[in-house]
Amino acid sequence: MKHGEELPPLEIKVTRTLIVAGAIASRDYQDVHHDAESARRRGSPDIFMNILTTNGLVGRYITDHFGPGAVLRKVAIRLGAPNYPGDTMVLTGTVVEVEGDTATVKVIGANGIGTHVSGTVTVTVPPGSAS
C-alpha cells in the first residue's frame, strides 16, 4: 500500500432486496427503506438505501481490497444523492496517507444521479496480509 494507490472500482447493483435486507439487518425499520408508497408520501420517488447499509458496503470495499487481515480503524462517511432501486453505485478509492501499516483511503460512491457517499476509511493491514 502506497500513497496515491488507486483501488479498483467496485460496481454494486442497487436492488430492492439489497435496500430492504440492509435496513432489516441493521434494524432500521423506517418505512422509507421498505415501503415505496410511504417513501413517495414523504417526497421520495422510491425507497432508498440507509446509511448503515452504505457504511457496510464501504467497509466491504476496503477489506476486499486489503484482504481478510485488514482492520477498519475509522470510517467517516457522508451521504449525498440517494441510492434508489435499479441504479448502480460505483465505489472508488485512493490511498491519501500511509503511516507504517495503517492507511487512510478516500472513498467515493457514485450512482446515476451523483455522489451517494464520500469520506475516508482508516485501515490497518498487518504485515503479510494480502493487498
pLDDT digits (tens, 9 = 90+) for 106-119: 999 999 999 999 99
For position 31, what pLDDT does the model report?
Answer: 95
CA–CA gap between residue 39 and residue 18 (Å, rounded): 16
Q: Report how many helices (DSSP H) and strands (DSSP E) the chain contains, helices first.
A: 3, 5
Instruction: Annotate 68-79 with b (16+ C-beta within 10 A) or e (fewer).
Output: eebeeeebebeb
Question: pLDDT tens digits for 7-55?
Answer: 999 999 999 999 999 999 999 999 999 999 999 999 999 999 999 999 9
Beta-carbon neighbour count of residue 80 at 10 Å?
Answer: 15
CA–CA gap between residue 129 and residue 76 (Å, rounded): 24
- 3-class SS of residue 50: coil
Q: Is the pLDDT of residue 131 over 70?
A: no
Among 4, 81, 87, residue whose Cα is nearest residue 44: 81
Question: pLDDT tens digits for 53-107?
Answer: 999 999 999 999 999 999 999 999 999 999 999 999 999 999 999 999 999 999 9
- Confidence band of 126 (pLDDT split at 50, 70, 90): confident
- Confidence band of 127 (pLDDT split at 50, 70, 90): confident
Among 23, 6, 36, 11, residue whose Cα is nearest residue 111: 11
Distance from the Cα of residue 62 to its chain's centroid: 9
For position 129, what pLDDT does the model report?
Answer: 67
